[in-house]
């Protein structure tokens, strides 16, 4: 491949005129490389000039796709959410009132019992013998009392006739009175023995559900042994739910309690997500210095036995009522450097609307702002939205905040 270099004009510098001669004297391979480089450079210059003077086609950016929901207006009840614990209305440790041998149990573990139902029986024979002995002693002393009273009457008559001294009369009268007191003591002993015999049959003091039998029949038990109860009975009709709210809610709690409409809603974590409601009937008399909370309790009938003492439940307490409020989905509310806002859609374009959130239950938000019922607000796709620019609504929920926001 031969490359012919053009001649330079005479006016060119001598150094430049020496370049062609130097190239001619160069090796053919060197001239080939230089020629290829020159062609590449020329092509690059041509490509640059073509792109520089040819305008690219305008790029059309489609509006961002979003999902929206309508703003709605209705009454909203604001609930304070917390965790509560189910507690029994009463818990009783059943113990024996007399010493003896446990003979039998008259119930099965976990059974529902009524007040007065028989739970245990002690061996009654020692108590029957003690009762018989007390009755015999009372009969003997009653006979002695009758004799002493007759003697006292006789000596009183003789003393009046002068046949007996006053000292003898007083002696027999005192003896009769002493025996009368003895008979009274014997009667009390009989009552005690009778009571002990009754205590040999242990009955339930309350309605409730029994726990496990802690001392089995055959054991010798002690009276009033609170450290070793026979069984524990838990009263579960009704039960109470105990929960705590911050002291900042105390004015609203007191206001609602005074009006008699402080309601607690309890949701149980089971297959059916059971929810029950009851009035709050107890507010603690002191705020905890450690947690800054105050205890509240509500009583539930628990007829279906779904609430079990010790169970943890979700509790919602209605503290505020917003009348004719604006409600939007929770996902429509965004947080910016200047506060919270939503994107409305007017004539197909996004509109930046600052709002004040009055209540948010993580599903719906009750807000104040320049929003109109029926106006769509963006709930998904906000990151690509530019205020004043068009948006493409893929799906629009016309139910908006929905009535569930008032639940």
Structure tokens at 28: 């053919």
Average pLDDT over residues 57-76: 86
Q: Are the C-beta atoms of residues 357 and 333 closer than 8 Å to each other?
A: yes
DSSP 100-149: EEEEEE-S-TT-EE-TT-EEEEE--HHHHHHHHHHHHHHHHHHHHHHHHH
**pLDDT of 244 over the 50 cut:** yes
**pLDDT of 1 over the 50 cut:** no
Most distant CA pair in the chain: distance in Å?
190
> How many C-beta atoms surround the C-beta of residue 326 within 10 A?
24
Name the pLDDT band for 161 (thresholds 50, 70, 90). Answer: confident
pLDDT of residue 43: 79
Provide long-range contacts, Cβ within 8 A and 24+ apart, for 276-284: 276/300, 276/307, 278/241, 280/256, 280/317, 282/240, 283/253, 283/254, 283/257
Q: Are the C-beta atoms of residues 215 and 102 closer than 8 Å to each other?
A: yes
pLDDT of residue 396: 82
Candidate from 20-24, 266-270, 301-305 with smallest mean pLDDT: 20-24
Average pLDDT over residues 225-230: 93
Name the pLDDT band for 406 (thresholds 50, 70, 90). Answer: very low
The per-residue pLDDT for range 192-212, each reduced to its tens digit, is 999 999 999 999 999 999 999
Q: Shortest CA distance to 250 belongs to which of 281, 278, 287?
A: 287
Q: Shortest CA distance to 108 belongs to which of 95, 124, 120?
A: 120
Mean pLDDT of all residues in the chain? 86
Structure tokens at 24: 């001619």
Q: Shortest CA distance to 274 belongs to which of 304, 296, 252?
A: 304
């Amino acid at each position: 491949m031969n490359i012919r270099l053009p001649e330079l004009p005479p006016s060119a510098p001598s150094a430049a005129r020496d370049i062609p001669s130097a190239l001619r004297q160069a090796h053919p391979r060197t001239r080939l490389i230089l020629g290829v480089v020159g062609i590449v450079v020329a092509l690059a210059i041509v490509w640059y000039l073509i792109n520089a003077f040819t305008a690219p086609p305008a790029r059309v950016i489609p509006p961002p796709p979003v999902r929206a929901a309508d703003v709605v207006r209705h009454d909203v009840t604001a609930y304070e959410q917390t965790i509560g614990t189910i507690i029994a209305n009463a818990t009783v440790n059943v113990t024996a009132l007399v010493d003896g041998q446990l003979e039998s149990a008259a119930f099965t573990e976990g059974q529902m019992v009524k007040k007065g139902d028989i739970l245990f029986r002690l061996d009654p024979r020692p108590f029957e013998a003690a009762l018989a002995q007390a009755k015999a002693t009372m009969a003997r002393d009653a006979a002695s009392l009758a004799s002493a009273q007759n003697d006292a009457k006789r000596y009183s008559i003789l003393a009046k006739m002068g046949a007996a001294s006053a000292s003898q009369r007083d002696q027999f009268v005192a003896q009769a009175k002493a025996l009368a007191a003895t008979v009274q003591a014997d009667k009390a002993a009989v009552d005690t023995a009778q009571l002990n015999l009754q205590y040999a049959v242990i009955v339930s003091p309350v309605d409730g559900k029994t726990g496990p039998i802690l001392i089995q029949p055959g054991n010798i038990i002690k009276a009033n042994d609170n450290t070793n109860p026979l069984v524990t009975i838990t009263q579960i009709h009704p039960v109470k739910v105990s929960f705590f709210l911050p002291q900042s809610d105390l004015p609203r709690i007191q206001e609602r309690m005074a009006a008699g409409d402080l309601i607690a809603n309890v949701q149980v974590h089971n297959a059916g997500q059971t929810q029950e409601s009851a009035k709050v009937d107890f507010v603690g008399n002191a705020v905890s210095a450690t947690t800054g909370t105050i205890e509240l309790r509500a009583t539930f009938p628990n007829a279906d036995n779904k609430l079990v003492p010790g169970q943890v439940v979700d509790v919602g307490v209605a503290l505020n009522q917003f009348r004719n409020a604006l409600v939007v989905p929770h996902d429509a509310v965004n947080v910016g450097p200047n506060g919270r806002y939503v994107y409305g859609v007017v004539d197909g374009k996004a509109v930046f609307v600052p709002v004040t959130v009055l209540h948010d239950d993580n599903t719906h938000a009750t807000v104040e702002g320049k929003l109109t019922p029926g106006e769509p607000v963006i709930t998904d796709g906000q990151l690509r939205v530019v205020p004043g620019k068009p948006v493409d609504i893929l799906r629009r929920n016309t139910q908006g905040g929905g009535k569930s926001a008032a639940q």
